[in-house]
Structures are given as C-alpha cells and as structure tokens.
Amino acid sequence: MFGSFFNTAEVDKYADWIVSEVKRYLPPGFDLSTRNMAERAEHLNERIAKRTFEFTQKCRLNIYKKAHLAARVREGMSANGYPESYVKSFSFDLLTRIQVASNQRTG
C-alpha cells in the first residue's frame, strides 16, 4: 500500500547527482566575483533547472520524497564543506524549483 510512497531510490540518485554537480562546478570556498566562477555558476544553474524539470516529469514527488531530497542534498553539501547559509539557501531554492516543475507536470 505504501511501498512506493517511501521508495526514495530515484530521489537519492537525483540528490547525489546534484551534490556532485555542485562540487564539480562550484568547489567549496568558491568566489563568485571571478568571471570564470560566475559563468560556472550560471552553467550549473541551467543544468539543474533542466534536470529538475526532466526529473519531475518522470517521478512523482510526494511530501516525504521532497523532504528526503532536500535533506540529502543539505547533508551532502555540508559534508563537502559548504557554508551552512549557502546550503540552506540552495536547498530552499531547489525545493522551489521542484514545486514549480511539478506544477508544470505534463503527464
């Protein structure tokens, strides 16, 4: 009955992808004032936006999965040494993106 409600395998893969992309494009201690980092941040933003839309089109996210996703991203980023204020801001932005993309769901 609740088997798929708590199944977070796809959510975990997506969260791990996000953390790895953030780490790759914006390593801990990055400085956005440099031109290269600003471009990398914009590219990361575009990649996450595209992947978030695709992910929400194929996976229905209930409240448990959304909370699990945000928590896993927060934990992953914190473990990699990102500042807590950045981690919180990033996870809130991610949840907003997911909600907007879910509302645009076509299927």
pLDDT for res 83: 94
Q: What does the CA dihedral 60, 66, 68, 72 come to, rounded to 10 degrees? A: 110
Q: What share of the chain is helix, strand, coil (3-state, %, to 5)?
A: 75, 0, 25
- pLDDT tens figures, 51-100: 999 999 999 899 999 999 999 999 999 999 999 999 999 999 999 999 99
From residue 81, alpha-carbon distances to 20, 30, 76, 86 in Å are 13, 11, 9, 10
Tokens of 45: 């933003």
Percentage of the residues of the chain whose pLDDT score is greater than 90: 75
The model's pTM: 0.89
